[in-house]
Structure 1
Amino acid sequence: MHRLNVRLRTRPMTVDAGWAGLLLVIGLLHASRFAGPQLAWRAASAVLLAALLVVRRRAPGPAAVGGVLLGVGQLVLDVAAGPASAGYLALAYTAAAYGPVWASRLALAGGALAGPLAVWRFDPGGPTAGWPRAALLSGFLATPFILCWAWGRLTRVRRAYLTELEDRAARLERERDAQAKVAVAAERARIARELHDVVAHNVSVMIVQADGAAYVLDNSPRQAKEALGTIASTGRQALVEMRRLLGVLRTSDTAEEYVPQPGVEKLPELLEQVRTAGLQVDYATSGHPRELPRGVELTVYRIVQEALTNVRKHGGPDVHARVAVDFGERELAVLVEDDGRGSTDENLTTGGADGPGHGLIGMRERVGMVSGSLDVGPRPGGGFRIRAILPLKTPS
């Protein structure tokens, strides 16, 4: 039954031809009751009306014009309405539902005039019965045409409304896809920044330890062994963080539990790792330490991590660094400075001898994501300074 309904909807001319054939049979049977010219004219009008019904949805405008001309011809030839004249109602509906504006107006005017003209032409008692009876009968005959026309208009409005809903749904779907692409791009950028921080920090520690182990391998095997142990632990930590980052790319059915993203509470461990790699670092906090938004926590950790990585790469020999975190009422201040030879902003951005990098660019992006500010540049007296101000919510 469903397949039959679908076929009928996709082949409207087949349905129209069926109804037209039924009305043609009824019209011919009714015409057979007459003789002479009336028989021929009624049979011809039944055939023409059936032909208009077949093409009414394919060509609603011409069908409406043909229906009006056929009705006028019946008035001229004195061919009164019969059972097959119900086809005119279908033409009025089609013109209002599918035809152009002029065809809809033509159908409305023709339907409204059909009653008065039929009474004037075919009602023998119309002139003598008075205008009240003629008006009542005219309205009675015109009402079906007007109702069918109104039904057609309602169908047109409803179809336009459904079309608008479909267009809106399509637009919303396109917007959703666009937003999903933007979100994917943002997530990829975030993962790239995270991977840069993890790889740059841990690999630099491993390089420093490997160089130190090679230098003292012959004279101090114990120190070389400690350096190799540091390399191994740093590599494991890098793998753990990389698994956590790449875990977001896995499907939900294969995702595992990963360690939480590092925050301010992990800074002592980071600094201890840096000290083990040979960099002297002082750490101090001020204010009232408290729990921070995770975005701010991760931003602080990555800024300190990237800044200390730059100190090891560009600070020169015997460099000393200082990290200070100030918990204010409305903002959090992070300061990382060193007394080394003080690499320029350009060196930090390009990565120096190690090739191009994105250290300061990543810092600025992170700080911008939490609506903070970043100040980088040479420190008075030598060295380099990085200072970030991260706004916090006002405590209630």
Structure 2
Amino acid sequence: MTSTSPSPAATPVADGAGLRLPTPPGVARRFWARHPWLVDSLVAAAYLVPTAIVLLIDATRPGGGPAPVAIASALLLTALISGALLFRRHAPLLALAISCTALLPSFPNHGQGDTLPVMIALYAVAVYRNVRSAWIGLAVAVGISTLGAYFGSGNPFISWVTVASQDAVLLIVATVIGVSVGDRMRYVASLVSLAAQLAHDRDRQAQLARSSERARIARELHDIVAHSLSVMVALADGADALAVRDPERSRAAMREVASTGRGSMAEMRRLLGVLGDDRDDEETADAAASAPGQPAPGLGAGSASATTPSAMATTGAAAPLAPQPGADQLVDLVDSFRSAGLPARLELSGRVPGSPGVQLTIYRIVQESLTNALRYAAQPSVVSVRLSSTPGRVEVIIDDDGRSRAEQPSVGGRRGIIGLGERVALYDGTLEAGPLRGGGWRVRATMSLDEGQAPA
């Protein structure tokens, strides 16, 4: 019987479930646990060899011993019992049945029955089967032992009762020991099974966390790539139209395209950097922040998002681990879409929420809505962005009065709207998106603010 009780000097080992379990104490115990067939063979041999030697001595005893047929039958029965004991782990009930069957004829006149194999079988049933089977087997074995003592004894009543009582005590002791060892083994096995289940649940939680992180990164990449590309395409079309009439404005538009692309690449590097320990990027960001004459990235009210065209006017690349954009960058965001040809305007009412998470959600809602208006609204005269904040509540409304471009249907599968809905739901909010009467489109989001997210 092995034990998994931890010890201070135990060396962790891995079991079949991949768990790091402590090494059971005792060199000999670990050896026997690793070689169960050797243990069973020694147990069977410990019964077979002495019994066979005694039978052979009786057969060669001077003055005439038992008949050869009786000796041969006894040897055959001993070999059968030994074979049953050899498979006591795999078929304990069969070993008990064979041992109990051989117990009755083993009682000689005025003698003791052969209870040793029955004791071993009862122990095996209690350890490798279950407690209920062990107690039932004990009752059967005690009954057979009592019958054998009664029919095999020629003494008065008190004599066979004494023999039966002694056998019963030995069988009970073997069963109690087996029940104790078996219960402990099953308890340890249940603990190992529980640990394996907890490890499995831990791995599943880790996989779910990774999947959730990948989904979040997919939404962020959608915000970066789709929105920036839409602005870049609009700027490139405008630059192409102005190439002949106003070359200077055309070149300015192309510089804005290049800045937008560089900023998008920088923010993508920052976003993908959260998947690992990007120490090189952190060192680059620290070096950029400490360089003379260079402002720290992402600090101050005038800092802009890396995904907006106006935020890319600087020649230096944004730090990969720069902070996420917030409400302070809404003005630059709207200006960037206005420079791309979208008649957007921003209206602010109340104070900006203090939570960075809420600010990022507001920024993404406005960015997604303006990008959709740029891509799908035909000839809008005005695109209004209204942000109103009161204690405990913030509301964002983006309206446009453009017609739908039926000849250019959306191919995005509503990933952006779905992602925005998930963001808003994190703050007990709702998101509505749909057409307006008389033409146009509206996106309306409301979010609840607790004390920690109150307007700053």
Give the TM-score category using the shorter length. 0.7 to 0.9
Aligned partners of 2:231, 2:99: CA distance in 1, in Å? 91
Match for 1:292 among 347, 350, 355?
A: 355
Conserved? CA contact 1:23–1:50, under 8 Å = no
Residue aligned with 1:95, SS: helix
Task: Please tell me the residue identity of whatever aligns with 1:329.
Answer: P
Q: Does 1:80 align with 2:80?
A: no
Match for 2:119 among 86, 89, 102?
A: 89
Distance 1:143 1:256, change over 3 A: farther
Structure 1 window deviating more from structure 2 (380-389 vs 174-183): it is 174-183
Per the normalisation by structure 2, the TM-score is 0.70
Residue aligned with 2:127, SS: helix
Conserved? CA contact 1:284–1:324, under 8 Å = yes
Match for 2:211 among 163, 175, 185?
A: 185
Report the equivalent of 2:396.
334
Match for 1:15 among 20, 39, 46?
A: 39
Aligned partners of 2:411, 2:129: CA distance in 1, in Å? 70
Residue aligned with 1:327, SS: strand
Per-residue deviation, 1:103: 6.2
Distance 1:60 1:317, change over 3 A: closer
More helix by share: 1
Distance 1:245 1:214, change over 3 A: same
Per-residue deviation, 1:66: 2.0
1:186-217 alpha-carbon deviations (Å, 9 max, x no partner): 33332222222212221122122212222222
**Unmatched 5+ residue regions in structure 1?**
none
Per-residue deviation, 1:303: 0.7
Report the equivalent of 1:388.
445
Residue aligned with 2:42, SS: helix
Conserved? CA contact 2:395–2:444, under 8 Å = yes
How many residues are treated as equivalent by the alignment? 382
Residue aligned with 2:404, SS: coil
What pairs up with 1:335-374 in 2 under 5 angstroms? 335-338=397-400, 340-343=401-404, 352=408, 355-358=411-414, 359-374=416-431
Aligned partners of 1:105, 1:42: CA distance in 2, in Å? 34
Structure 1 window deviating more from structure 2 (285-294 vs 9-18): it is 9-18
Match for 2:82 among 53, 61, 70?
A: 53
Q: Does 1:280 align with 2:343?
A: yes
Aligned partners of 2:418, 2:167: CA distance in 1, in Å? 82
Aligned partners of 1:356, 1:28: CA distance in 2, in Å? 86
What pairs up with 1:26-41 in 2 under 5 angstroms? 26-31=50-55, 32=57, 36-37=65-66
1:84-137 alpha-carbon deviations (Å, 9 max, x no partner): 75333212212333358896355302443477567657788764xxx6x98677
Distance 1:47 1:22, change over 3 A: farther
Distance 1:373 1:145, change over 3 A: same
Q: Does 1:204 align with 2:230?
A: yes
Q: Aligned-pair RMSD on alpha carbons?
A: 3.9
Task: Please tell me the residue identity of whatever aligns with 2:408.
Answer: G
Residue aligned with 1:237, SS: helix
Report the equivalent of 2:100.
68
Task: Please tell me the residue identity of whatever aligns with 1:52.
Answer: I
Per-residue deviation, 1:392: 1.8
Structure 1 window deviating more from structure 2 (285-294 vs 195-204): it is 285-294
Task: Please tell me the residue identity of whatever aligns with 2:228.
Answer: N
Residue aligned with 1:324, SS: strand
**Unmatched 5+ residue regions in structure 2?**
1-25, 283-320
Give percent identity, aligned residues only.
32
Aligned partners of 2:403, 2:75: CA distance in 1, in Å? 101
Structure 1 window deviating more from structure 2 (209-218 vs 32-41): it is 32-41
Report the equivalent of 2:329.
266
